[in-house]
Chains A and B, each alone.
Chain A
Amino acid sequence: QVQLVESGGGVVQRGTSLRLSCAASGFTLSPYGMLWVRQAPGKGLEWVAVIWYDGSDEYYADSVKGRFTISRDNSKNTLYLQMNSLRAEDTAVYYCARGVYNNGWYPEHWGQGTLVTVSS
């Protein structure tokens, strides 16, 4: 069955970097756009980034633009999120999600998430 497993979360200091991975199984990543969505403790969902199925295009939330980079390796069936210059407000559970495009992207199937804690 479709499964998305995030990894790479942890406790890091402010200003440092972290790379999250999202391993897909039960389907082939290459035909799908992929998204990252995060959720700060006790808060709602916040979209982070989206990448086209072939990596040809990507967009970011204003809050992370210039600091985060979404990428993918279709040969490894894996999605990534490189996070630089981390801030306390980046503390959240980060979910990867398989995307569907119909006049715009939406997350169709979600992973279980990985927690990133940025300490000051």
Chain B
Amino acid sequence: SYVLTQSPSVSVAPGQTATISCGGNNIGSKSVHWSQQKPGQAPVLVVYDDSDRPSGIPERFSGSNSGNTATLTISRVEAGDEADYYCHVWDSRSNHVVFGGGTKLTVL
């Protein structure tokens, strides 16, 4: 089955840029989506189709995808961005949604 690998944690100071990676075999050939989950809350989609943002999501959130790595970039990080971030894809071989293990973003 298809596997997505994320680093468990990333720390960044306010105002700096956070980079969260998602690794998968030839992930560049898939559409990658990112969901944010703040403590005690339901997830919220922040990036879809590699780099598009749903309405209401700040431009500070951006995504890219190439080769074996997809990346979520959060510019000018704010305290309110502290959350778990999950990448996810559709695996067409198994017809499954696959989630990465999640990355906890800590704002120092």
Contacts and interface: CB of A to CB of B under 8 A. Distances in A.
B44 A47 contact: no
B54 interface: yes
Interface string B65-103: 000000000000000000010101111100111111110
Contacts of A100: 48
B57 to A, nearest CB: 12
B98 A102 contact: no
Interface string A37-55: 1000000111100100000
Interface stretch (A18-26, A83-91, A103-111): A103-111
Given A102-B49, A112-B42, A44 B99 contact: yes
Contacts of A45: 35, 37, 43, 86, 88, 99, 102
Contact of B90 (A62, A103, A108): A103
A61 interface: yes
A80 interface: no
Contact of A44 (B42, B44, B90, B101): B101
B17 interface: no
Given A35-B97, A95-B42, A108 B54 contact: yes
B86 A104 contact: no
A45 B33 CA distance: 13
A110 B97 contact: no
A102 to B, nearest CB: 6
6 contacts: A44-B102, A103-B30, A105-B90, A106-B33, A106-B89, A113-B42
